[in-house]
Structure 1
Amino acid sequence: MYVLINIIGILVVLALAYVSSLDRKKIKLWPIAVMVVLQFIVTWLMLTTTIGGTIIKGVAAFFVFLIDSALEGVAFIVPDLVPQDGSGTMFFIGVLLPIIFIVAFFDILTYFGIMPLLINVIGWILSKLTGTPRFESFFAAQVMFLGNNEALAVTRDQISKMSDKRLLSMCMMGMSCVSASVLGAYMTLLDPKYVLTAIPLNALGALIMSSLIVPYTVSKEEDVVYKPSKAERKNFFDVISTSMLTGGKMALIIAAMLVGFTALIACINGILGIFNDSLTLEYLFSLIFAPLAFLMGVEWTEALKIARFMGEKLATNEFVAMTNLKDVLGTLKPHSQAVISTFLVSFCNFSTIGIILGSVQALFGSEKSAYVAKYTWRLLLAGILVSCLTAMVVGLFVH
């Protein structure tokens, strides 16, 4: 039964994107169909085959190694707070502080051209398979690994020469991005196989939603990918020191957001409790998102519980939702675990819209920012639909 409901859910998600399109006449259905099929293939490969299992175990082990290495650095500063067996560490120590090293590690890979090569290869393959423009495919590959700020910043020279519609499309993709620097943190809170499956599905989903909501045609002359010159490369030690400072700021920002949003939810619940003891923000979220959870194939008995975390992610951020989900994840059915875990793996929330608009303002000026701001609700809708599509596709393969 859940398979039929999941399929209906996928069709509903695609229909909502179609209805929200800026120009339905320009939508090319064949590339979209190809990308949906690719999502099925990727999910089947990652979750049901030996090759996929080996990939997941290898990548997960690699991130465990990175986190263990990071904890060596943390232990040098606060040895009493890092147990030698790696167990029982506080969230800030065991999840957030390792981000400092992981950011630096991936920036080193970028400095030596390893990450750009990987992104270029994936972007080229996506472009050939899906028929989408090269730069859009390249950008979709970037959002698999970079934050929305970084993805826009590193391609700013080329995007600045593009049409407003193409810029809007990039911003929509940015709503579904993650950052390689937080993948280790995600994997301490969720099953790594769902984290690693969601990342490529989100990239394909971002291309699908942008193709439906902001369709346009790119000429051969415009269909190029910008390559930074050697002169733009910074000194290696500048890169490392800047990366570590960036990682430190990121850890503190995430910690501040978690403290602030958790306290805000508690405050709101306290106010709501004045009117009704059982009325909470989580309950309101569950009512709003329960129909979407049901369309993911979640049994109605668990739909309200799943919907709560969907709403938390949207209103706060994925870390708040993941942290709260971790405590009850084991009580959920496998299908419910799969769909909510994959739904949470992206930066799609209200604050991300502000981050993207701020980045556009800083990188491309007020006129571009004003244009993107006109379609704020479409940015949010695109991000939600990508997360829903990812969860629904994964749900087809998990009983």
Structure 2
Amino acid sequence: MDRFIGLAGIVIILGVAYLLSHNRKAINDRVVGMGLLLQVLLAVFILKTGVGKAIFGWLGMAVTKVLSFSDEGAKFVFGILADNVKLGSYLGPENGFIFFFKIIPTIIFVACLVNIFYHIGLMQWIVEVLAKGLNYVMKVSGAEALSNISSAFVGQVEAQIMIKPYLRGMTMSELMASMTGSFACIAGGVMATYILFGVKAEYLIAASIMAAPGALAIAKIMWPETEESETQGVVKLKVGKQHSNIVDAISAGCSDGLKVGLNVLAMLVGFLALIALINYILGAAGGLAGHPEFGLNSILGGLFSGFAFVMGVPWHEASQAGALMGTKLVANEFVAYLQLKPIIEGHLLSEKTLAILSFALCGFANFGSVGIQIGGISALEPSRRADLAKLGFRALIAGTLASYMSATLAGLLF
């Protein structure tokens, strides 16, 4: 029965994409089919084969180990406040984790590492090699292949910087694919944060890798290519060095990481306070009808529980899972993963549901990100602002569906 539900989930996700297609007659079956096949093969390799499990298990441990080095800098600056073990021995284990003193240093450290990799050319090489592979298998254009692969490593706007020279001449379908890829993936810096929340690193790495072909497949259903691409068969990065030397790259990375970290903190304070206010109002209204427990989670859980169920979440857990999925879309993935943290620590949901949610929440697809992408990409190429605005919410839906597809495959193979 579980297998049947998962297969039905895949059909429903593809059906939603098809119903929302801009031009159903123009859908290229080969491009879509190869994208979905690649996503399935990646899922099977990562989640079912001994080699895949070993590789991604090792990657997960390696990433976690590298991230742990940020603690050394944090402890030097903040002392015991950055040591959750020692702090927990005084205040209790549940109070040992102080968000500011653990998350900000991690984001700064990851931003620093990414800048080093860019300066020495390692990141560009990895992105270009993977993009060439994606271009060869799916026969998509160079620009959209580069953008989608970049999205698995950097932020949603930073990924578009990789293809800045091509933005003016990109087709509407290419723009749609690039935006969808950015909505379906998360950046390395924030991925590090979710690992600290208790989400398995191998799930997050797998989700970002699987999202690239999945996002392209869904995007090509919802906005098929009907124009001539300028970069068909061309995969070449045109990103020069941004820093004078490696010390400059490290310094800039630390500054960028601090900006991102402070932005994350401000966003969390605002969103969590707003959610608390909404829950208070809804609870007061529900109390009049004898249901004081009524809140935003009740509404979002009801709206998204059906999606959670067809993705493989057991029905008795679907409402709670759906609430997190809805929070991710309405607020953002950071708030959703933060709400998932105590659930992981308390073992309040099954391992299968936690695996599905790890994939489903992995992506920048939320209402606020629509504005970020339109504003950020149009700053790179102002002539495309109207096109970006036209595609924004359609790409948001496509990115969400791509993440749900990865989550459904994870549920099928769990």
Q: Assess same fold via TM > 0.5.
A: yes
Deviations 1:336-394 (A, max 9, x none): 111111101111111111100111221111x4212221233312211211111111111
Deviations 1:105-155 (A, max 9, x none): 011111111111111111111112222223322221111111111011232
Matched, 1:374 2:382: no
Q: How big is the shift at 1:197?
A: 1.6
Extract unaligned runs of 5+ from structure 1.
Answer: none
- Which residue does the alignment assign to 2:156? 148
- Which residue does the alignment assign to 2:273? 263
Q: How does 1:82-101 map to 2 (within 5 A)?
A: 82-83=82-83, 88-101=96-109
- Which residue does the alignment assign to 1:167? 175
**Mean CA deviation greater in 217-226 or 35-44:** 217-226
Q: How big is the shift at 1:239?
A: 2.2
**Mean CA deviation greater in 22-31 or 59-68:** 59-68
Q: How big is the shift at 1:82?
A: 2.5
In the comparison of the two structures, how many residue pairs are matched? 396
Name the SS of the counterpart of 1:374 in structure 2: helix
**Residue 252 of structure 1 is aligned with which of 245, 262, 274?**
262
Q: Distance in 2 between matches of 1:275 and 1:89?
A: 34
Q: Which amino acid aligns with 2:353?
A: S
TM-score (norm 2): 0.91
Q: Distance in 1 between matches of 2:386 and 2:399?
A: 20
Q: Distance in 1 between matches of 2:147 and 2:12?
A: 26
Q: How does 1:179-218 map to 2 (within 5 A)?
A: 179-189=187-197, 190-216=199-225
Q: What is the CA RMSD across the aligned residues, in angstroms?
A: 1.9
Q: Is the 8 A contact 2:143 2:174 kept in 1?
A: no
Q: Is the 8 A contact 1:269 1:280 kept in 2?
A: yes
- Which residue does the alignment assign to 1:275? 285
Q: How big is the shift at 1:269?
A: 0.8
Q: Distance in 1 between matches of 2:379 and 2:141?
A: 26
Q: Distance in 2 between matches of 1:370 and 1:31?
A: 27
TM-score (norm 1): 0.94
Q: How big is the shift at 1:85?
A: 5.8
- Which residue does the alignment assign to 2:289? none
**Residue 338 of structure 2 is aligned with which of 308, 312, 323?**
323
- Which residue does the alignment assign to 1:393? 409
Identity of aligned residues (%): 30
**Residue 312 of structure 2 is aligned with which of 289, 293, 297?**
297
- Which residue does the alignment assign to 2:118? 110
Q: Is the 8 A contact 1:172 1:210 kept in 2?
A: yes
**Mean CA deviation greater in 385-394 or 20-29:** 20-29
Extract unaligned runs of 5+ from structure 2.
Answer: 89-95, 287-291
- Quickly say closer, same or farther: Cα 1:386–1:220, change in 2 above 3 A: closer
Q: How big is the shift at 1:256?
A: 1.2
- Which residue does the alignment assign to 1:57? 57
Q: Which amino acid aligns with 2:213?
A: L
Name the SS of the counterpart of 1:132 in structure 2: coil
Q: Is the 8 A contact 2:305 2:322 kept in 1?
A: yes
Q: Which runs of 4+ in 1 moved over 6 A?
A: none
Q: Distance in 1 between matches of 2:363 and 2:75?
A: 30
- Which residue does the alignment assign to 1:342? 359
